[in-house]
Chain A
Amino acid sequence: MEQVGVIIPCHTKEEFDQQLQKAIESKKLVVIDFTATWCGPCRIMLPLLEDWAKEFPHVLFLKVDVDELKSVTSDWDVEAMPTFILVKEGNILERIVGVRKQELRQKIEEHHSTSAA
């Protein structure tokens, strides 16, 4: 079952790994949003990400709650929120820390377009 146009929350490490694996196979750009319920700046980004998920249906938006997936958070060296990591075919392309609306948007456009088949 393919979910398109929405942000997909990953509640277990298995779900997260599975989503990444699928994206490697489909060569999709993945935007991982490391977030926390208690993080004020994260709340600023949420509505934007929801819009972008609709606007870029070929980009996979994953959400990781840093309290829920502690091991994933530390594996990916996330120490401040929000952190956005852009991944394609298993490679980290960008790491954007903080509310950086313009930069994140530009990077999604850039890496999304290079993948357009």
Chain B
Amino acid sequence: MAVSGFEGFEKRLELRFTGADPNGPGLRRLGQFEINRILEAAQCTIVSGLGNRFFDSYVLSESSLFIYPSKIIIKTCGTTHLLQSLSLFLHHAKKLGHYISSCTYTRGNFIFPESQPFPHTNFKEEVSFLENDLPPRLSERKSSVLRSKTSHSWHVYTSRDPNMLETGAQNEVYTMEVCMTDLDRSSARRFFRHENYLSGDEAGREMTERSGIGSIRANSVICDFAFDPCGYSMNGLLGSSYSTIHVTPENGYSYASFECVGLGLGQGQEMEEVAAVLARVARVFGPGTLSVALRAPQGAEWSIGEAATVLEPMGMALRGARAVDVPGGGNVVFQAFERRREL
């Protein structure tokens, strides 16, 4: 492994709000100036963006930002200062009449933990930073570290205000976060730029097509970008649901992530869709190690082993599975897999 390199593993913050005009644009009214200031605190910038009737999405210099009328999701990789954005989001949301009702912070395990800035140096510091910035009324709090027999582990912090009812629909969605390391070499090579005359926009589109990413969730409207000399990010919009992919292809610390919010929304076939999507993702990247965290709503919790039925026939072996309940209902199931050594 390289002594030091780019940190692919993201930190992810999901903030939900209550407040005025549930059917209006809500938090989408956040101005460009405010958004840029918030991102500056996290130490990243906007490189691209795309919106639809339901939400706005941005590709960042380090990962992605999604703004719904009453929900914000931001994930950043590298050595960004993600949690520095929290108090600014809360401040600007409040100015628009929106008050936080729940907060979820998740991340995998850093490849280069010693390179992380405070408070990302360890999970305990992150949790105490979060608790300091969140209002005390978010009193239902829980933090967990889910480990596996691989190098992958999963950190989850959730807190919510038990007295605030969130708008129904946004609670009904599944969230899948997949982290992959040790990518198949020939898959990873597709995320290096070869044609220098292409813009980052065009090179990104070519990578989407060549890699097979374009068919992971067909019918998505995709906003993609290729970094120089390598690396790739995309946001895919499908109604109120999104998927997002980020790739750091360098050998020694190659990493790719896939996240999808709102899988199988309202179709009653969530299990089938999650399985099919997961299989396509694994096929695109051919990872040596893959971990998947599924957050499911109350009454539709996942059982351990769900992902195994898809990944085992592809030569991956289950190396650990854990589940935790989250405040407010529902659970998070974490499963890690390793490529079986060929005999």
Contact = CB atoms under 8 A, between A and B. Distances in A.
Interface of A: 36, 38-44, 79-82, 97-103, 106
Nearest to A102: B199
A36 B54 CA distance: 12
B50 interface: yes
Contacts of A40: 28, 30, 32, 35, 49, 51, 56, 58, 67
Interface residues of B, number: 24
Contact of B200 (A39, A43, A82, A102): A102
15 contacts: A38-B25, A38-B29, A40-B28, A40-B35, A40-B67, A41-B48, A41-B50, A44-B32, A44-B46, A79-B221, A80-B52, A81-B52, A99-B48, A99-B49, A99-B50
Contact of A97 (B28, B31, B56, B221): B221
Interface string B48-66: 1111100011100000000
Nearest to A39: B51
Contacts of B28: 38-40
B223 interface: yes
Q: In the A-B complex, list the 3 residue pairs whose CB atoms are closest, starting with the nearest.
A: A41-B49, A102-B199, A103-B201
Contacts of B29: 38
B221 A36 contact: no
**DSSP majority for the A interface?**
mixed
A103 B35 CA distance: 23
B69 to A, nearest CB: 9
A55 to B, nearest CB: 18
Nearest to A35: B51
Contacts of B223: 97-99
B58 A41 contact: yes
Contacts of B25: 38
Nearest to B33: A43
B51 A42 contact: yes
B237 interface: yes
A38 B46 CA distance: 18
A102 B225 CA distance: 11
Contacts of A99: 46, 48-50, 223
B199 A81 contact: no
Interface string B233-269: 0000100000000000000000000000000000000
